[in-house]
Amino acid sequence: MGMKCPHPAHFFNPGAHSGVYPWQSCPASEAGIDQTVGPTFRRRMFLETPKPTPHPIVLFFRKTAILLATLVTLLVFGVIFCNLWICGSTHKEVYDQVEDVPARDVGLVLGTSRFIAPDTPNLHFINRVEAAARLLESGNVKHLLVSGDNRTNYYNEPRDLRESLIARGVPRERITCDFAGLRTLDSVIRAREVFGQEALVIISDDFHVPRAVFIAKAKGIDAIGLKCARVPRIRSQRSRVREWFARVKAILDLYLFEAEPRHVGDPVAIRLAERKEKTASPSPPEEPGAEELEDQQPSPAPGETAGVGSPGSESP
């Protein structure tokens, strides 16, 4: 039998019973303890020290860190999802070889800068020009619509594309310029709204074409894409990284903001020449193509909005 506790106050004097704690030997009724309370609670009441409450500043930073980690995780998954959506839904409409491209009336060439530095040609520009010229020569398109930035007299992507295509051997009358291609979305939508094209071959870089085709399909345009020659990754890494986020913005523009081109202007008809026949016999004389848009009216001055174009920008 355990030794009885003479008084409940001895609970707070462990040495009163020669090292034997009173609550280990005294009946609970004599110590004044509610016998309905379990032994676990009694052990916690006497033996455990309450945990200190964290400082409010510590709690604030802890909650902030959890919130930031959640947002970053959602952002990463959102970027990955948008990229997989665009690339996965368009890979069957994007072609690597000119010979594999189904016939369309018009090829849309997306603009980019001619030089990346003084006396340093832009390989993206050169490859797009070469792919567009080869596509026209193959007979798979009848006409080229070049679209891009016209922000100043010294920076004019459509004009540079046209001049380079002519130097490559493309007839001048087979080229029409769109000076209001501020961005990919503007170039694609204007091809239908202004130039009346319901079917297109979009010509650009391998990382850029899927987004352009995705925008066209979302807007009800029968579009396919042609990849130009691949620029080495070491010389295109910045553009490729930027494209990951441009695809996210494209989805937001299409399905959240419902973005439209900044400039629309009056409709412009493209008169098409007969498609070049792929035979050894001489081809009949072609009908005169559409007069160059710049010959019909002066090129818009910087900052001016015209029917077929106004200053804009087009990323690689």
- Mean of the per-residue pLDDT values for the chain? 81
My answer on whether 102 and 33 are in the same domain is no
Q: In terms of domains, do 185 and 271 share one?
A: yes
Q: Percent of the chain at pLDDT above 70?
A: 71
- Do 118 and 197 share a domain, yes or no? yes
In a domain, 292, yes or no: yes
Question: 41 falls in which pLDDT band (50, 70, 90)?
Answer: low
117 in the same domain as 27: no
Kindly write down the DSSP assignment for every residue of 215-242, as one continuous string.
HHHHTT-EEEEEE-PPPPHHHHHHHHHH
Q: What tokens does 154 get?
A: 């010294």
State mean pLDDT over 225-247. 96
Residue at 62 is within a domain: no
**How many angstroms separate the CA atoms of 104 and 62, rounded?**
59
Residue 303: per-residue pLDDT? 42
Q: Which of 205, 203, 148 is nearest to 170 (CA)?
A: 203
Let me know if residue 7 belongs to a domain.
Answer: no
pLDDT at 53: 83
CATH classification of the domain holding 267:
3.40.50.620
Work out the average pLDDT over 226-241: 96
Q: Is residue 282 part of a domain?
A: no
Enter the pTM of the model.
Answer: 0.73
Rounded CA gap, 293 and 162, in Å?
11
Of the listed ranges 5-9, 133-137, 186-190, 209-213, the one predicted with least confidence: 5-9
- Count of the separate structural domains present in the chain: 2
Same domain for 255 and 113, yes or no, is yes
Same-domain pairing of 138 and 211: yes
- Domain limits at 28? 16-47
Indicate whether 32 and 114 sit together in one domain. Answer: no
Helical spans, DSSP H, in 150-198: 157-168, 184-193
Neighbouring C-beta atoms of residue 35, cutoff 10 Å: 8
Q: How far apart (Å, rounded) are the C-alpha atoms in residues 157 and 141?
A: 21
Alpha-carbon distance of 269 to 244, in angstroms, equals 35
284, 127 contact by CB (below 8 A) = no
pLDDT of 34 reads 52
Q: Are residues 138 and 245 in the same domain?
A: yes
**Greatest CA separation found in the chain?**
125
Is 309 domain-assigned?
Answer: no
In a domain, 301, yes or no: no
d(Cα 216, Cα 218) in Å, to the nearest integer?
A: 5
Could you tell me the two tokens for 216? 């066209």
Are 115 and 241 members of one domain? Answer: yes
Residue 44 pLDDT level (bands cut at 50, 70, 90): low
β-bridge mates for residue 146, sequence order: 109, 177
Which has the closest alpha carbon to 122: 171, 180, 161? Answer: 161
Q: Is there a domain that residue 101 lies in?
A: yes
Instruction: Answer whether 96's CB lies under 8 Å from 209's CB.
Output: no
Query: How sure is the predictor about 107, in pLDDT bands with cuts at 50, 70 and 90?
Result: very high
Same structural domain for residues 168 and 257?
Answer: yes
In terms of domains, do 35 and 150 share one?
no
- Assess if residue 228 is contained within a domain: yes
